[in-house]
Structure 1
Amino acid sequence: MGLFKMPSLGADMEAGTLVEWMIAPGDVVAKGDTVAVVETQKGAIEIETFEAGTVGKLLVEVGETVPVGTPLAEIGDVSAPEAAPAPAPESAVALEPTQEVTAAPEAPPPTPKPTAAPTPASAGRHRASPAARKLAAETGVDLSGIKGTGPGGAVTSCDLEGAPKATPREAARASGIDFTEMRKAIGRAMARSKREIPHYYLKHQIDLQAASAWLEDYNGSQEPAGRLLMGALLVKAVALALKNFPDMNGFYEDDAFTPSVAIHCGVAVAVRGGGLIAPAVHDTDSLSLSDLMAAMRDLVARVRAGGLKGSELADPTITITSLGDRGVDEVYGVIHPPQVAIVGFGTVEERPLVVDGSLVAAPTVISTLAADHRVGDGRRGALFLRDIETLLQKPEAL
């Protein structure tokens, strides 16, 4: 049997609370199946298994808080089940290896250890379906006052019909996120980053005339739900540039850098009540702009509904952050270890720009880069930012 362990969902996570099992002993699971829900400072996270097999014992009970790396369950190879032990002779007795066999009475049958069974809810969390959580976040409904009619008393979307809306403070409390603890966890991670990672910083102003004109033309032919935001173009340009700069995409661990084959851009999303979460858009470089826009909208909704998956927090290979919607020109991020770079974008606005020898007002954005000096240098960083700009000059090819 292999061990399914409490995963690390970021450098700021030291422990997690198991709030729900989605499996039971004897179940067969496939790689990527959701097997548990864990509460962290970032809220309730659905945890997937990375191995296929048959579930053995559940080793941690609902409500327990355990450190990262603690075995949570046994999952065996479904193709090669463990052979049952041969029956012992009637006179044999189970003994420690160093104990001699003399004589012993027949041992009573062992009392089976109870497995962790789902409970109605652990402190600070209200059981609800992912759809209900998403709807509650969108409408501001407080889940704490809703009586669920789903399995185990879970709240369903139907239970939210006619429910009173919550105040922002109530909605934050109902989401299960402890914002005080979140700030502490973020502080620890950022302090570690600044202490251990020799950052270097660069900025570059990007000409968005071509991107803005193409975006306006594209959106003019789309229904509102299919329209793109400039943010999708910026994220896609970063992802494609990483194919040429693999030294910006990966992890620095155990005094060595390991580039990532996959490009999973972590997109920073503000959490209602305070704090940021940067879940991964998986395989960002291979998504079309419309699929990327849909994925980003979905992530924002699920961040605020408390419906993220563990892999979305553990998998980012680089982080992209933007405070452009807050009206700031520049943002300088702090690298999220073990990543080695973070790209920032400010507000898209018209600024003076020299084009073919003439001074014009043109839409631009200031891009910034914070990168790990142990992996590369400012020259590589400068070329990386210039490559992002080059890609944005041909938005139709993104």
Structure 2
Amino acid sequence: MPQFKQFPLPDTAEGLTEAEILTWHVRPGDEVKVNQVICEIETAKAAVELPCPWDGVVTELLAEVGQTVEVGSPIITIDLDPAGAVAPAVPAESNGKIGEETADGRIATLVGYGPKSGAAQRRRRKGATAVAPPAVAPPAVRQPVAPVAPVPPPAPAPAPVVAPAPAATPTRGGYVPLAKPPVRKLAKDLGVDLHALSGSGPGGVITREDVERFVEPAPAAAPAPAAGPRERRVPIKGVRRATAQAMVDSAFTAPHVTEFLTVDVTPMMELRARLKNAPEFRDVKLTPLAFAAKAVVLAARRTPDVNATWDEAAQEIVYKDYVHLGIAAATPRGLVVPKVRDADRLSLRELAISLEDLATTARDGKTAPADMVGGTITITNVGVFGVDTGTPIINPGEVAILAFGAIRDMPWVVDGQVVPRKVCQLALSFDHRVVDGQQGSRFLADVGALLADPGVAMTY
């Protein structure tokens, strides 16, 4: 016989609470195998492909493309024993949609299936009115026990929405209100009886807004302003929302200090030109950023304070004996900061290869969530945009970030003579709770010295 199992949205990275469904790669009726990609989701950190945990046949998709789903909520139903089914698989266009009847006569609800049509329902009251099949008439909507403020009807959905089969007079013993665990907790905290609410969500599910509206009815909200003829409105979500919140938290938690340094990097650029012709670098994209990354990890050895974390809860400063170097990268999905793990153990060639791989993966939106957490210090390469410098905001969980500016031909005094040189500007922002001015200045000066004369690295 069929064995239906629901797959809940997993936490793909530490601390995530929700994700948006970007695309489905399967549909009801499709056969799936273990580790087959079934959908792509967008978290606050990255776009992630979800593999299927079981072999079986898809019977229902429980979330739509564009829908934001909480971690732990079911997103798909799979029949693990399709061979035991009495009825053949239902075509994709009619199987598994919320509110529709499946091949075995059951009604699809938000988190699974209702009882078979015509079958006795558990704890049905005498005289209860049966739900008419969707093909004959639309289903009745459950009414609340106590009168409440009228709730505006939800926006029309592409598929009919059905609540669980109602009894003639709904009571506590007649049905269990549909609501997700966080909503149930909110209702409990506010002292709201879910039996007294009508759910405005798909399938009659009670939402957070339903609970809040019941506690304190809000005045009629003004309609959302429409975009003008030369405007467009984009919802704030995913990476953009996470980045915005992280920057606000950092800016108003860590006391930022920013110092600046202008550096003649002509020797570094000359070394880069020589190395590009060396056999071991001919197949490597050797960028100025690779030299900056090497300078940062070397300078951090002399000033370990910039490679630490402020632990507010424990009231401790955690010093790291490794460097997980973050590289701020602009992508079509927004700003992301993937990490080069153990960058302090890599040679210049290995760093250059890692940076190129990191940039390509980030541009394609394929950076794994695990690669964007646990950084110790960050570089933001504003120079790639032709920008000289800036005052970068520290990445949350770290205490320092270096802005690497554009390299320009500028007049420079060398041995008393004004000559054209390759010059760039550096800006270091640091958390003044951990890094004092002396420590921040020494670190920035060391980075500048390594770029101005790469041979200084021999003394580190």
Contact kept, 8 Å, 1:249 with 1:317, in 2: the verdict is yes
2:287 corresponding residue in structure 1: 229
Q: Which letter maps to 1:266? A: G
Contact kept, 8 Å, 1:214 with 1:396, in 2: the verdict is no
2:432 corresponding residue in structure 1: 373
CA-to-aligned-CA distance 1:87-131 (integer Å, 9 cap, x gap): xxxxxxxxxxxxxxxxxxxxxxxxxxx9xxxxxxxxxxxxxxxxx
Task: Give unmatched runs, 5+ long, in structure 1.
Answer: 21-26, 28-35, 48-60, 73-113, 115-176
Q: Secondary structure at the match of 1:330?
A: coil
Q: 1:9 to 1:230 in 2, by over 3 A?
A: farther
Q: Give the TM-score normalised by the residue count of structure 1.
A: 0.58
Q: Which letter maps to 2:320? A: S
The separation in 1 between residues aligned to 2:40 and 2:238, in whole angstroms, is: 19
Deviation at 1:293, TM superposition (A): 1.2
Deviation at 1:331, TM superposition (A): 2.2
CA-to-aligned-CA distance 1:239-297 (integer Å, 9 cap, x gap): 1111111111122222432112210100111102x521110001111111121111111
1:208 corresponding residue in structure 2: 265
The separation in 2 between residues aligned to 1:355 and 1:9, in whole angstroms, is: 52
Contact kept, 8 Å, 1:210 with 1:395, in 2: the verdict is no
Q: Which letter maps to 1:15? A: E
Q: Secondary structure at the match of 2:252?
A: helix
Larger Rg: 2
The separation in 2 between residues aligned to 1:257 and 1:350, in whole angstroms, is: 41
Q: Give the TM-score normalised by the residue count of structure 2.
A: 0.51
Matches within 5 A, 1:125-164: none
Contact kept, 8 Å, 1:46 with 1:309, in 2: the verdict is no
RMSD: 3.7
The separation in 2 between residues aligned to 1:369 and 1:396, in whole angstroms, is: 20
Q: 1:44 to 1:264 in 2, by over 3 A?
A: same
Contact kept, 8 Å, 1:41 with 1:179, in 2: the verdict is no
Q: Which letter maps to 1:308? A: T
CA-to-aligned-CA distance 1:166-211 (integer Å, 9 cap, x gap): xxxxxxxxxxx98754322221111111111110010111221211
Moved more, 209-218 or 301-310: 301-310
Contact kept, 8 Å, 1:250 with 1:259, in 2: the verdict is yes
**Alignment counterpart, residue 198 of structure 1, candidates 245, 248, 255:** 255
2:44 corresponding residue in structure 1: 41
Q: Secondary structure at the match of 1:308?
A: coil
Q: Secondary structure at the match of 1:240?
A: helix
Q: Secondary structure at the match of 2:378?
A: strand
Q: 1:374 to 1:397 in 2, by over 3 A?
A: closer
Number of aligned residue pairs = 267
Q: 1:246 to 1:346 in 2, by over 3 A?
A: same
2:175 corresponding residue in structure 1: none
1:98 corresponding residue in structure 2: none
Contact kept, 8 Å, 2:263 with 2:424, in 1: the verdict is yes
Asked which structure has the greater RCO (Cα within 8 Å, sep 6+), the reply is 1
Q: 1:268 to 1:367 in 2, by over 3 A?
A: same
Deviation at 1:38, TM superposition (A): 6.0
The separation in 1 between residues aligned to 2:418 and 2:299, in whole angstroms, is: 29
Q: Which letter maps to 1:260? A: K
Task: Give unmatched runs, 5+ long, in structure 2.
Answer: 1-9, 25-33, 51-60, 75-111, 113-233
The separation in 1 between residues aligned to 2:235 and 2:354, in whole angstroms, is: 26
